[in-house]
Structure 1
């Protein structure tokens, strides 16, 4: 039985990761607040084997729930539904688009700390945010290829981190598990953001 990736948001990142996960054997479900007919067209074109489902069904059925919405809209998600769920946060704050978020300054600049505070019962993992969405197509490689591009997976929940690491591996990248406090290093202006690193190099940067 395939694992289920539920993606909230059918934009560029969501559909790119969804297609990669679907190709790797994951069942992919989508929910988007946009009109259903438009979302259906996007999902059918980008991830043909995916399902478009209500949010409550997506959360109930998913092994991982991915929050693939603009950070400025992230406060509109019903986080109360996510108790006990492994939640993947690939969001970044883009101030020209999202505006300033002064509350992140109080949390050492990490938007994921703010996301975590919205429901402490989530099993939150920060990952897939420090590459561009197009990189997940261009740089994916099979596990047999040496020195694949690395993707950091930040969480203090070991089992949640392992599950997201499996997804990262399945879509063609070397996962680098790190503690949750490293999540701020993955965001814009951090030392690994937008940088091509293999797993060894990324561990050195994030452990420094």
Structure 2
């Protein structure tokens, strides 16, 4: 298992800033890029997440052990696939019509968003995490191991070692983990599912996931996979 020491975040919006703060609190070295030049976001970074390093995308990727694109889903192809070659990448993106526009212009209808992200970044390893909990909850509800109020995050992907590595990272960021090893299962946490927006304990999150196939949403997904 690789040892994550340096975290790279592509995107200096609300989610990116929150994840950068959690990573700094957990003791990681953090680099973060924005959509513009470094000098445009440097003051924001120094003010909101002092200790994080503002940098261009290339520098963030080159100097990080794990990459988190904290951007609208509709913009993931703005990142050159080759830039993330060989990298472990956390997909926390969701389709959201208010920021992404017409779904059919962003996603093909025959697979989940994370499958399409993995297909685009074909030389990277994608693990789905951090996407079902709102950024306010992520910021406010991180807790140490053993805390009775600790919440859980869903972590899934096809590469077992990578999923385990990300699960450990999630643990250090302040959350328990419900782990699956199938990137298709990321759909369980996408908008429209019972888990989207969920801020639950490990037991409650696992219970919802275990009963997912019995929900109307789960049945629709199962039916669509047969077609």
Both proteins in one fold, TM over 0.5: yes
1:36-57, Cα deviation, whole Å (9 max, x unpaired): 2221111111111111223222
Instruction: Please report how far the alpha carbon of residue 147 of structure 1 lies from its aligned counterpart in structure 2 after TM superposition.
Output: 5.3
Distance across 1 between alignment mates of 2:21 and 2:79 = 23
Q: What 5-or-longer segments of structure 2 have no aligned partner?
A: 212-227
Look up the match of 2:109. 105
| Residues 131 and 193 in structure 1, CA contact (< 8 A), matched pair in contact too | yes
- In the other structure, the counterpart of 1:114 is 116
Does 2:157 match 1:155? yes
Distance, in Å, in 2 between the alignment partners of 1:51 and 1:36 is 10
1:19-68 CA distance string (max 9 Å, x none): 11101101101122223222111111111111122322221221110000
Q: Does structure 2 conserve the Cα–Cα contact (< 8 Å) formed by 1:90 and 1:128?
A: yes
Give the paired residue count: 206
CA apart distance, 1:154: 1.1
What is the Cα-based RMSD across aligned positions, in Å? 1.7
- Structure 1 pair 196–53 and aligned structure 2 pair: CA distance change class (3 A): closer
> Post-superposition shift, 1:197?
1.9
Over 6 Å off, 4+ runs = none
Distance (Å, rounded) in 2 between the aligned partners of 1:202 and 1:193? 11
* TM-score for the superposition, normalised by structure 1: 0.92
Match of 1:9 among 7, 11, 34: 11
Deviation at 1:196, TM superposition (A): 2.7
Q: Secondary structure at the match of 2:135?
A: coil
2:38 to 36, 39, 43: 36
Provide the rounded CA distance (Å) in 2 between the counterparts of 1:172 and 1:130. Answer: 15
* Partner in structure 1 of residue 97 of structure 2: 95
